Amino acid sequence: MARKHPKGLPILFFTEMWERFSYYGMRAILVLYITKEAIGNNPGLGWSNSDALALYGWYTMLVYVMSIPGGILADRVLGQKKTVLIGGILIALGQLTLAIDNMISFYSGLTLLILGVGALKPNISTMVGGLYREGDPMRDKGFTIFYIGINIGAASAPLLVGYIGETIGWHFGFGLAGIGMILGLFVYVWGQKYLETVGNYVPAKKIEGTKTNAPLTKIEKDRVIVLLISFIIVIVFWAAYEQAGGLMNLYTKEKINRVVFGYEIPASIFQSVPALFVIIFGTPVAAFWVKHQLKGKESSSLYKMAIGTIITGFGFLLMSGASLEAASGQKAMLLWLVGAYLLHVIGELSISPVALSFITKLAPVKYASIMMGVYFAATGLGNKLAGIVGEFATQAGEFEIFTGIFVFCVLFGILLLVFFKKLKALTHGAEDLKLEHEEA
Ligand code: GLN
């Protein structure tokens, strides 16, 4: 009989779904709002494209980099549960501040959002891990379910907030993103009764076997080292994957034939495709890895992450195919793009939820949230790097960039596979199943 997930999971699922609705909804209209001319109907700020993209790059990096202080606040002072609550309140206030039309509100709104996401995002993820016991085989699945929640928010928000923002008014869009976060806060506060045992502040001296300020043991140090190495995979992966919003987005607009049954699909709609694929393929990909593991085949997190990087790389090979087809001046088939996003998402599902789970298994308890914070900061660097790589395309050409990313990801993945046994040894069996916890 299949075991049940803890009752706290749906609470964290819906809280994070609404938080991501708020985040991705706002993100979808941010650049559009900034670049829209400052006069006329539904005016924006009238900035240039490059200024808008620069602010966007800094914003998407900073929200994740602030996960480090967010993690420290949770580990050292408040515990994850309270820090998530404060983060949610700051996000809601930030979005509502953006709903007010003036420059002071614009900058203060963004600042509140950066602080709020930094407090909420890493800590809610650590709390998911806290719902499961050590060695519980349900943990990875729990993270996949949580990840699907994230993507329900991410898939629906650009459509809804984007529509309201562009047609009714930007500030109504920001307001709607704020309402999303308020709904998330309601779920979170209501669900506290299911979260009693998780995310509470534990002073270091009370953690079993840990003395205050005791140095890390050799095993703990090895585990931190392997986590930090895995964060390099994370940077490479997000630098490739996040081409979606920049280079691949522009490429879709200019060089992909988007006409289906006589109707031209707007390029922005394709921004929801990866999130939609996560919702569809999240469970099958997780089930594939569980089967793989039950057959006794290699399925440690590092292995999945290496394979995920290679699969993502092949997605870029399809984009190279599109560039070859478009080189003759005609537009490339839509299938190239959809196929690329599909491979990217299969890669993502073998990396992103896996990494979240991996961190909660390996991080020493007293640094649990900080390690999660560093992880998100790594994804933030990946995002920024993605922008820099994408910019090169204007000089180097799209074919060269897509092929370059393909070659890099595949070689990097192979390198990881070559060394992966050595890396796995550093985990000291943290991923071994403790089957005595299983009821079935
Ligand atoms: N798309 C995922 C989310 O929004 C992962 C983002 C990340 O790790 N930077 O949660």
Q: Tell me the domain boundaries of the chain.
A: 10-196+217-431
Rounded to a whole number, what is the distance in angstroms from the first to the last CA of the chain? 6
Q: Of all residues in the chain, what percent carry a pLDDT higher than 90?
A: 66
What DSSP element (H or E) covers 375? Answer: helix 368-396
pLDDT in tens, 134-166: 878 788 889 999 999 999 999 999 889 988 998
CA distances from 288 to 235, 273, 293, 299 (A): 25, 22, 9, 10
**What's the chain's average pLDDT?**
90
The pLDDT of residue 208 is: 53
Q: Determine if ligand 1 sits within 6 Å of the CB of residue 64.
A: yes
Q: Residue 278 has which token pair?
A: 């996560």
Question: What is the rounded average pLDDT of the residues 362-385?
Answer: 92
What is the Cα–Cα distance from 372 to 279, expressed in whole angstroms?
A: 23
- The residue contributing the CA closest to ligand 1 atom 9 is 379
Rounded to 10 deg, the angle between the 218-241 and 301-327 helix axes is 20
Task: State residue 440's pLDDT score.
Answer: 34
Ligand 1 atom index nearest CA of 24:
4
Mode of pairing for the β-strands spanning 259-260 and 263-264? antiparallel
Mean pLDDT, residues 156-182 taken together: 93
Is any ligand 1 atom within 6 A of the Cβ of residue 352? yes
The topology under which CATH files domain 10-196+217-431 is Growth Hormone; Chain: A; (1.20.1250)
CA distance 388 to 225: 27
Neighbours of 263 (CB within 10 A): 7
User: Does residue 199 surpass a pLDDT of 80?
Assistant: yes
Contacts of 4 (CB under 8 A, 6+ apart): none
- Nearest CA owner, ligand 1 atom 3: 150
DSSP for 44-56, please give it: -----HHHHHHHH
- C-beta of 150 in contact with ligand 1 (< 6 A): yes
CA of 325 to the centre of ligand 1 (A): 32
Residue 205 has pLDDT above 70, yes or no: no
Residue 8 in this model has a pLDDT that exceeds 80: yes
Distance 43 CA to ligand 1 centre (A): 30
Whole-structure pTM value? 0.88
Q: How remote is the CA of residue 157 from the centroid of ligand 1, in Å? A: 14
Query: Which pLDDT belongs to residue 159?
Result: 87
Q: What pLDDT score was predicted for residue 433?
A: 62
Identify the bridge partners of residue 264 per DSSP, sorted by sequence position.
259
* pLDDT tens digits along 260-294: 999 988 877 888 899 999 999 999 998 898 888 88
Q: Is 436 a residue whose pLDDT tops 60?
A: no
For residue 256, give the 3-state DSSP assignment: strand
Which residues, in sequence order, are bridge partners of residue 256? 332
Cα 405 to ligand 1 centroid, rounded to whole Å: 20
Q: If you measure from the C-alpha of residue 176 to the centroid of ligand 1, how many angstroms do you get, rounded to a whole number?
A: 21
Greatest mean pLDDT range, 80-89, 208-217, 259-268, 364-373? 80-89
